[in-house]
Structure 1
Amino acid sequence: MDIQKVINIDPDILGGKPVFVGTRVPVDTLFDHLEAGVSLDEFLDDFPSVKKEQAIGLLDIASKLMSSKDITKLYEAVA
């Protein structure tokens, strides 16, 4: 999935914090929920403005980033 269909960064929305496109839901909220043991379906129930495709797309993007063999890109992404 195209990252621009998943993540939006706009200084006028939550001070530029990355959010799911079309929402005011920060992308890190998904990771916080998963870390706390909340299922993806429960997360989507709690945040109905986030589309399932967006949540899965974010997880796919994170997976690709973490499995990248180019460590420089990984360091740039977390800087």
Structure 2
Amino acid sequence: MDFQYIISDPEILGGKPIIKGTRISVQLILEWIASGASIKDIVEEFPHLPYDGVQEAVLYASRWMDNEIVIETKVRA
């Protein structure tokens, strides 16, 4: 899937995925949402962010996690 709003540029934030035209990372969007903010809250706080861009950041993170491999380990006491 191609993303219209999410880019990664080694010259911006060390290559972290960001919303195009900003220095707002996908990670920061997820941190805001984890702290209880809605997409609407984020866009109201930062009106230069497009609503669809913030929404796409969440989708991007979800697609990235879809490729995650989880390995369960047990620690002996």
TM-score by length of 1: 0.68
Instruction: State whether residues 25 and 47 of structure 1, in contact with CA within 8 Å, keep that contact through their aligned partners in structure 2.
Output: no
The answer for the alignment partner of 1:53 in structure 2 is 52
The answer for the alignment partner of 2:35 in structure 1 is 36
Secondary structure of 1:41 counterpart? helix
CA shift at 1:35, angstroms? 0.5
Q: Distance in 2 between matches of 1:61 and 1:14?
A: 17
CA RMSD of aligned residues (A): 2.1
For 1:14-29, list aligned pairs within 5 A: 14-29=13-28
Amino acid at match of 1:46: E
Computing the radius of gyration over CA atoms, which structure comes out larger, 1 or 2? 2
Runs of 4+ aligned structure 1 residues displaced above 6 Å come to none
The answer for the alignment partner of 2:68 in structure 1 is 74
Count of aligned residue pairs for this structure pair: 69
Could you report, residue by residue, the CA deviation over 1:25-79 in whole angstroms, capped at 9, with x for unpaired residues?
A: 111111101110112111112222221111122223444555x5xxxx334xxxx
Structure with the larger helix share: 1
Q: Which runs of 5+ in 2 are unaligned?
A: 70-77
Select the structure with the greater relative contact order (CA < 8 A; seq sep ≥ 6): 2
- Percent identity for Structure 1 against Structure 2: 32
TM-score by length of 2: 0.69
